[in-house]
Amino acid sequence: MKARLAFLSVLPACLLVLALWPRTSPASAGPETIVSATLSAAATMPLGLQDKKATFTYVGSKKCKMCHLAVYKSWAKTKMGQAFNTLKPGNAKESKQKFKIDVNKDFTKDEKCIKCHTVGYGKPGGYAIPDPKNKKSVRKAKKLQGVGCEDCHGPGSAYVKLHKEIMQSKRKYTDKEMYAAGMKKIDKSTCLTCHNSESPTINPGEPFDYEKRKDQGIHEHKPLKQREE
Ligand code: HEC
Ligand code: HEC
Ligand code: HEC
Ligand code: HEC
């Protein structure tokens, strides 16, 4: 059984060698090329499996509040923190009129809107349209309204525990540790998952200016004391 498994795990690498062998002339691809190709194919396999095993889920911005109070408070006031309210009838009148969106319509259950106005819609543990008769689902949905911390920083189920441990032990940590626990490195592409032309209120002629938007205010910033350089 074990031997068979071992054979299966090297099978893709063998196939790769076969696929490369006849077509590459010895001058253009020496044995080193083929060896390094099989090595890299083998090296990526366990990593891929690891990714599959770890499913990080969304916990909601309130879970971050007790330790990141100033950040939380400043975020809650922003348009992103309030993004769910925008979908309620009567709110954000001017923008809705400007973009010919029905001001009196309720968009809070519209899949075409909530995917960018909630936390992790459609992903494991992310926002789901609640069943009004199911109190638990209503409570859970409330925690995931608006554009929350995890929309940018990644689903928190594992890294919240890591942050707690860091806080209690007062030890140094590295960004690698954070990423392994589900945190995301933030860059322009993070924002573009929502700030794109699928949004009915975006001016397609105006490209997303990352630095400017960041400075416009996502939340307050505090220096990190425990992170290793
Ligand atoms: C999950 C979707 C999502 C992601 C990811 C996202 N945004 Fe937003 N953003 C929104 C929505 C929705 C609004 C509008 C909220 C409203 O007014 O209802 C918004 C509004 C804003 C605003 C406020 C604009 C104003 O007029 O005041 C800024 C600034 C902003 N986003 C910057 C960013 C930056 C920078 C990033 C990436 C680091 C980012 N956003 C990532 C969905 C997102
Ligand atoms: C692809 C993501 C995405 C989708 C889908 C989306 N939005 Fe938004 N929405 C945004 C972003 C991003 C902003 C902020 C625009 C900006 O500041 O550049 C925004 C802003 C708005 C605003 C302006 C709010 C304000 O503060 O003035 C309204 C109104 C709005 N959206 C309504 C809707 C409605 C209604 C739907 C569904 C029909 C919808 N959105 C679907 C991403 C989206
Ligand atoms: C729209 C995206 C976005 C949202 C929403 C968001 N953040 Fe951030 N956050 C950033 C960016 C960008 C940085 C700057 C560092 C970086 O580029 O990774 C940052 C940095 C941080 C830092 C590092 C220290 C600092 O102050 O710079 C903490 C802690 C943090 N965020 C916590 C939170 C918490 C808690 C929430 C929710 C209450 C939240 N963030 C919501 C984008 C976001
Ligand atoms: C039990 C307390 C606690 C909770 C809960 C918590 N954090 Fe943290 N977090 C910390 C501590 C402590 C640090 C390290 C601060 C430092 O280095 O000064 C940290 C660091 C961070 C950083 C910076 C990471 C880096 O190196 O770039 C971000 C971003 C962050 N937290 C976001 C969040 C988000 C989002 C949540 C909720 C989903 C959350 N935290 C929940 C205590 C906590």
Q: Would you write out the chain's pLDDT as a tens digit for each of its 229 residues?
A: 444 544 445 445 444 444 444 443 333 333 333 333 333 333 333 443 444 556 999 999 999 999 999 999 999 999 999 999 999 999 999 999 999 999 999 999 999 999 999 999 999 999 999 999 999 999 999 999 999 999 999 999 999 999 999 999 999 999 999 999 999 999 999 999 999 999 999 887 889 999 999 988 799 999 999 999 8
pTM assigned to the model: 0.86
Residue 163: in which H helix or E strand, if any?
helix 159-169
How high is the pLDDT of residue 205? Answer: 85
User: Which three-class secondary structure state does DSSP give residue 173?
Assistant: strand
Q: Which residues line ligand 4 (CB under 6 A)?
A: 59, 63-64, 66-68, 149-150, 153, 156, 160, 163-164, 166-167, 175, 178, 224-227
How high is the pLDDT of residue 8? Answer: 47
Residue type at 133 in one-letter notation: K
How high is the pLDDT of residue 53? Answer: 54
The count of C-alpha atoms lying within 13 angstroms of the C-alpha of 165, restricted to the half-sphere facing its C-beta, is: 10
How high is the pLDDT of residue 215? Answer: 87
Return the residue whose CA atom lies nearest to atom 34 of ligand 2. 113
Quote the CA–CA distance of 197 and 100 in Å, as a whole number.
16
Instruction: Tell me the backbone φ, ψ of residue 145, rounded to 5 degrees.
Output: -85, 150
How high is the pLDDT of residue 26? Answer: 37
How high is the pLDDT of residue 17? Answer: 42
- Confirm or reject: Cβ of 83 under 6 Å from ligand 1: yes
CA 184, 185, 186: angle at the middle one, nearest 5?
105
How high is the pLDDT of residue 229? Answer: 80
Domain 62-216 CATH (choose: 1.10.3720.10, 3.40.50.300, 1.10.490.20, 1.10.1130.10): 1.10.1130.10
In which residue ranges of the chain is CATH 1.10.1130.10 found? Answer: 62-216
Please, is 199 exposed, middle or buried when counting C-beta atoms within 10 Å of its C-beta (0-12, 13-18, 19+)? middle
**Residues with Cβ < 8 Å from 105, sequence gap 6 or more?**
89
How high is the pLDDT of residue 86? Answer: 98
Q: What token pair was written down for 124? A: 């494991």
Quote the CA–CA distance of 109 and 114 in Å, as a whole number.
7
How high is the pLDDT of residue 137? Answer: 96
For residue 68, how far is its CA from the centre of ligand 4 (angstroms)? 7
Return the residue whose CA atom lies nearest to atom 17 of ligand 3. 186
